Amino acid sequence: MVRFISFIVLFLLCVASSSPTKVVDVETICKKAKNYSFCITLLKSKAGGAGGDLVSLASYTIGVARTDVSKTINLIKTLIAKSGGNPKALSHYKNCLDHFGMDEGALGEIVEAQQLLKKGDYGGVNAHASGILTDVDGCLSGDSPTDPPFHDTSSLPKYAAIVEQVSQIILIITNFLLH
């Protein structure tokens, strides 16, 4: 009888500790991504394997986004330093720095998303991930709907595309967490 009760207790403990974690395999997540192989490569680069629950995958992916945004900010700063003689380029890159930066830019969104994930506010994380997409678009297409976008021949569009893809993966993971 004592054995039986301890078995029941153990069973209940297992149920209690496992129910909040949601596990979806990486292939299922990446089928929804724009670029399947990019997504698989990213999620499988997670230390300890691609397995694990959605929250740890979200946390990992937000960390990757943070690194990619920081790299992009460094690139933009270099481009600003180089475009002294070109007012159009200068204003384009300064606009991009605002859109990627900490104050109301992509980096700020990511910092918020990291805090909200810890609180379990997946809707908030989702909103900030789409905020990053808006920021990236604001950099690439510029703020004026009438002016044509700056023809950027630097590596910035490539960097921005990576930030975009990583943010879309955050959206996919948080959508699984929400539904």
Ligand X SMILES: *[C@@H]1O[C@H](CO)[C@@H](O)[C@H](O)[C@H]1NC(C)=O
Sites of contact with ligand X (CB under 6 A): 35, 37-38, 41
Q: In angstroms, what is the minimal distance from the CB of 15 to ligand X? A: 39
Nearer to ligand X, 38 or 176 (CB): 38
Nearer to ligand X by C-beta: 18 or 41? 41
Q: Report the nearest approach of ligand X to the CB of residue 37 (Å).
A: 5
Q: For ligand X, which is the closer residue by CB, 33 or 177?
A: 33
Nearest distance from C-beta of residue 99 to ligand X, angstroms: 22
DSSP 102-142: TTTSHHHHHHHHHHHHHHT-HHHHHHHHHHHHHHHHHHHH-
Contacts of range 126-131, beta carbons closer than 8 Å, 24 or more positions apart:
126/170, 126/171, 126/174, 126/175, 126/178, 129/167, 129/168, 129/170, 129/171, 129/174, 130/167, 130/171, 131/106
Residue pair 177/53 in contact by the 8 Å Cβ criterion: no
Contact criterion met (CB below 8 Å) for 165 and 38: yes
35 vs 175 by CB, closer to ligand X: 35
Supply the minimum distance, in Å, between the C-beta of residue 111 and ligand X.
26
